Structure formats: structure tokens, C-alpha cells
Amino acid sequence: MNLLFTVKTLGKKRPYLRDIEIALNISSSCRVADFLTSLVNQQVDAYKQRQSDKTLISFIGEEKIKEQLSTNGNIKFNERYNQIFAEKDKAIETVLLAFEDGLIALFIEDKQYEDLKQQLELKEGDSISILRLTFLAGSIW
């Protein structure tokens, strides 16, 4: 199922990711926990694939530069500095805990989901927003 994702952080002018199409191997009716688990599995696999890419030098053309500027707001040459691979189980545990703790807000077609046991009804091409919430520390004195 192809879904459009936007990842935002409060207080930032631009979204971290905007309208990125991701194909998830998930049924149209599932729980929030299953959805987040499937999303993390897909993203960890994609991360591992990028990390194992052994391209020596990555050149980018004018078309790729324009694409990166419009989607990310910056240009990257895909250099790999971190050789540590992600662990799926740890990543899933982290996302589920962050969701339970209210550090991540999930919106599907402008409806907020707040419980891991809530049932989702997904359709092809649904717009999904994930908001990373951050809290300010300190006092007003």
C-alpha cells in the first residue's frame, strides 16, 4: 500500500520530510502499533540498504540538485560516515515507547490517533503526518 508521509517538528519552519511516498506491506485495517511496527521495519531495511551501498563517489546532476532542494531544502552527496547498522527490535521498541509517552503524534487524513490499540482504516494514497514533539526545559524566572 502506497502512503504519503510528512514528518514535522514543532517550532521548525519546514517539515523534516514532506509528502514522501512509502510502500508499506500492511493491510488496510490494522492497529496503530502494527502500523508503526511496519513503518519502522520498512525504514530500517531502507537505512541498511543505504548503509551497505558501496558507491565510492556519488555525483549528482542538476535535476537531482533541484529535487533535493525542493524536498529537503538542502543538498547531500550521500556520504556514509556512520557504519553502525540499526537494530529493528530496538527501533520498534523506541518508537512504540515514544508514541505511548506522547513524544510522537500520528495523524491520518487530519484525524489524530492516540492509542496503540486503536484501529486504523487506511486507503491507498492516504496522507499521514507524524509530529515529533519536543519540550522546552527551564523556567520563566
DSSP 118: P
* Residue 119: per-residue pLDDT: 93
Residue 82 has pLDDT above 90, yes or no: no
* Residue 121: per-residue pLDDT: 85
* Residue 93: per-residue pLDDT: 94
Q: Are 119 and 31 in contact (CB under 8 A)?
A: yes
Which residues on neighbouring strands pair with residue 30, listed in sequence order? 120
Residue 57 has pLDDT above 70, yes or no: no
What would the pLDDT profile of 86-111 be if each residue is shown by its tens digit? 789 999 999 999 999 988 989 988 89
Q: For all residues of the chain together, what is the average pLDDT?
A: 79
CA atoms within a 13 Å half-sphere pointing along the CA-CB vector of 14: 10
pTM for the model stands at 0.70
Q: How far apart are CA 70 and CA 68, in angstroms?
A: 5
Per-residue pLDDT band for 15 (boundaries 50, 70, 90) equals low
